[in-house]
Chain A
Amino acid sequence: MERPLRLVTANPLDQLARTLEALLVVASAPLPVEELAAAADDERERIELALGLLAERYHEGRSGIVLEAVAGGWAFRASREASEACGRLFERPVQRGLSQAALETLAIVAYLGPCTRPEIARIRGVAADSAVAGLVERGLITESGRDDGTGGAVRYRTTPMFERVFGLESLSQLPRLDDLPGDVDDLRERLHAVAEQRSA
Chain B
Amino acid sequence: MIVRELELDLDAFEGPFDLLLTLVLKEEVDLADVDVAGIVVRFVERLAEREKLDLDACGEFLVLVAALLELKARGLFEDEAAELADLGPEEAAEELARRLAEYRRMKEAAGWLAERLAAEGDRFFRLGPAPLAPALERRLAPQDPEALANVVRLLAAEPPAVSLAHMALRFPPVAQFLERFRALLSRRSRFDFDTEIDGLSRAEQAIAFLALLELRRANQISISQAAPFAPIRVSRVEQESAAVNERTHAWNVRSA
Contact = CB atoms under 8 A, between A and B. Distances in A.
User: How big is chain B's contact interface, by range?
Assistant: 35 or more
B114 A103 contact: yes
Contact of B124 (A86, A110, A111, A177): A86
Interface in A58-90: 75-78, 80, 82-84, 86-87, 90
Interface in A3-58: 26-29
B125 A104 contact: no
A92 B121 contact: yes
Interface centre among B96, B102, B125, B128 (most CB of A within 10 A): B125
A93 B113 contact: no
A133 interface: no
Given A78-B124, A106-B110, A182 B93 contact: no
B126 A184 contact: no
A141 interface: no
A125 interface: yes
Contacts of B121: 92, 94, 97, 165
A75 B131 CA distance: 13
Contacts of B96: 191
The secondary-structure label for the interface of chain A is helix
A106 B101 CA distance: 17
Contacts of A28: 126-131
B123 A167 contact: yes
A188 B126 CA distance: 48
Interface in B90-107: 93-94, 96-107
B101 A184 contact: yes
B97 A187 contact: yes
Given A77-B125, A103-B114, A187 B109 contact: no
Contact of B105 (A90, A97, A180, A192): A180
Contact of B127 (A84, A93, A125, A175): A93
Contact of A188 (B97, B102, B106, B125): B97
Given A175-B112, A182-B101, A92 B126 contact: no
Interface centre among B97, B98, B119, B128 (most CB of A within 10 A): B97
Contacts of A161: 127
Contact of B123 (A26, A104, A165): A165
Given A75-B125, A124-B106, 9 more contacts: A28-B128, A104-B106, A104-B107, A107-B107, A165-B121, A166-B116, A167-B119, A188-B93, A195-B89
The 7 closest A-B pairs by CB, nearest first: A28-B128, A182-B105, A107-B109, A83-B122, A77-B125, A103-B110, A78-B124
28 contacts: A28-B127, A77-B126, A87-B122, A92-B124, A94-B117, A97-B121, A98-B114, A103-B111, A104-B107, A107-B113, A108-B106, A110-B109, A110-B113, A123-B99, A123-B102, A164-B125, A165-B121, A165-B123, A166-B117, A166-B120, A177-B109, A180-B105, A180-B109, A182-B101, A182-B105, A187-B101, A188-B97, A195-B93
Interface of A: 26-29, 75-78, 80, 82-84, 86-87, 90, 92-94, 97-98, 100, 103-104, 106-108, 110-111, 122-125, 161, 164-167, 174-175, 177, 180-184, 187-188, 191-192, 195
Interface of B: 89, 93-94, 96-114, 116-117, 119-131
